[in-house]
Every structure is written in structure tokens, then in C-alpha cells.
Amino acid sequence: MSNKDNFLGDISNLKGKIYKNISKDNEDLINFLDIFSQFSKNTNNIKEFIYSNEEISKNFFNLIKFKKNDLEDIYTILNYIKENSKKEDLEIYGKELDRGIYEVKWIIEEKKLYQSIFENFEDNILSKNSIINEEYKEEDFSQNQYLIKTFSNKLWKDINKETIINFLEGLDFYYLSNEAYFFIIPACIRYGIEKFENNEDLEYLLFFLSDRDRVKYANDKIKKLVVSYLELLKRLKFVVFGKEEEKCLEIWR
């Protein structure tokens, strides 16, 4: 059941098999809940995990690839099992059930946040004269030209992942004007989510978002996006959300 294709081959049929007998004696129910067995007990079922906390199901990074509608069906099944299980049965499979409810709910919220980025941010473009911070226009000609070439006359959604990765690794954020900084944030968070779904980390994203001096110029839409993204990560039990992450979140609240 850890294989995606086997699991979603016919979810409506699976639902029927589970609903007919909500108990530990239903093999289909037990196999379904095995999807949410703890990762640390099933280390051969997932590639090396980039986070240190092992309170994660062995199929988290399979589930995160599913469409939101499929996840909502899974969430419905899990809650139905929860509501209709006997106490003695919950003692047997309750941990897997609770882990599944928690993770699937989180993934649904992540899908909604990802979609909201495309829905809430306009198709604006930056002119080449609006990209560089006035204080640095005379400082480094080659760097300025790189940033102008990289970000001018493009929609934020058309900036590719490699461009964002290279930009963040360059650590030259201070060259950007406030307008350019806020323009790039939706693209950065978009790729932060995509990298996370592949069990990877978008390096320097937190550092990029931690520019305290910029936040006071941000509009409510940008603030809401950044806060929603950071709060979503904070709620995920197996992600280390430390002092630097907390500090960044407080800056944007």
C-alpha cells in the first residue's frame, strides 16, 4: 500500500471496503492505515529524510504528490474511521489513524496555500529601472546588470526554479529595491513549497525573508503569504522550527 498507484487505483471501491466493517478485523482498513505507519520503523520505504525528527509516516512524501481532491477523500475516510471505531480498536491502530489525519490535513492546507499564490498575485512585471536599490546603483555594475537581466520584464510565475536558487545562493538581496524584493517573494515561496514536496530544502529562503527593514514596506497580501507559509511549516511536527524561524515569523506578523 505504500505505492501510490496501488493506493489510489479505485478510492471509491476502497472506501466501500473500509466502511463495511470499521474494526481491527477488516484487513482493508488495516492495510489502509499502514500507509501512516511511522517512518522510523520503515526506513526502507522512503529515501533519506532531510529532517531530524522521525515522527512522520513512511508515505508522507508519496501522499504529498496527490491531488487535493484525492487527499480530501482520504481525509474523509480517516475521519469516518475515527468517529466509528471502538475504543479497543483505537488502542491497536489509533496512532496510525491520528498521524494520518494530522498529515493529510496539513498537506491539504499546503495545497491550498500553493494555489493561493497563483490566485492572489497579479501578473505584474518589473521595469529595468525599478529593480536596483537606489543606494547601490553605482556600487557594482556587473551585479546590477545581472539582477536587471534576471528579473526585468518577466512575470513572477515565469521565473524558473534554477534562477531563484542561484539568486538566493548569491546572498545579494540588499541590491534589490523594495518593489523587486516583494515581487520575488511569491516565486521564492512557490519554489520553497515545491522543493519541500521533493524532500529538499530551498536554501537561504529563511535568510531572504528575514530582512526586518523591508517588512514595514510590505502590503497586507505579502505579509499574509509569508506568515501563512511560516506558520504552516511551524505546525508540521517533524520540521525543526527553531529560534531563527520564530524570529522571522515574528518579523512578519
pLDDT of residue 39: 66
User: Hunting for cell 482493508 — which residue is that?
Assistant: 28
| Cα 103 → chain centroid | 12
pLDDT above 50 for 5 = no
Mean pLDDT over each residue of the chain, to the nearest integer: 85
Residue 231, all three cell numbers: 506558520
Q: What is the mean pLDDT of residues 106-113?
A: 96
pLDDT of residue 33: 93
What's the pTM?
0.85
The predicted-structure confidence for 45-102, as pLDDT tens digits, reads as follows 445 544 445 568 888 888 998 999 999 999 999 999 999 999 999 999 999 999 999 9
pLDDT of residue 52: 46
Least confident of 1-10, 132-141, 194-203, 237-246: 1-10
Residue 182, all three cell numbers: 516583494
Confidence of residue 8 (pLDDT cuts 50, 70, 90): low
pLDDT of residue 4: 44
The predicted-structure confidence for 169-212, as pLDDT tens digits, reads as follows 887 788 899 999 999 999 999 999 998 888 787 888 998 999 88
pLDDT of residue 115: 95
Confidence of residue 41 (pLDDT cuts 50, 70, 90): very low
Give the percent of the chain with pLDDT over 70: 89
Q: What is the mean pLDDT of residues 26-40?
A: 87
d(C-alpha 84, C-alpha 67), whole Å? 26
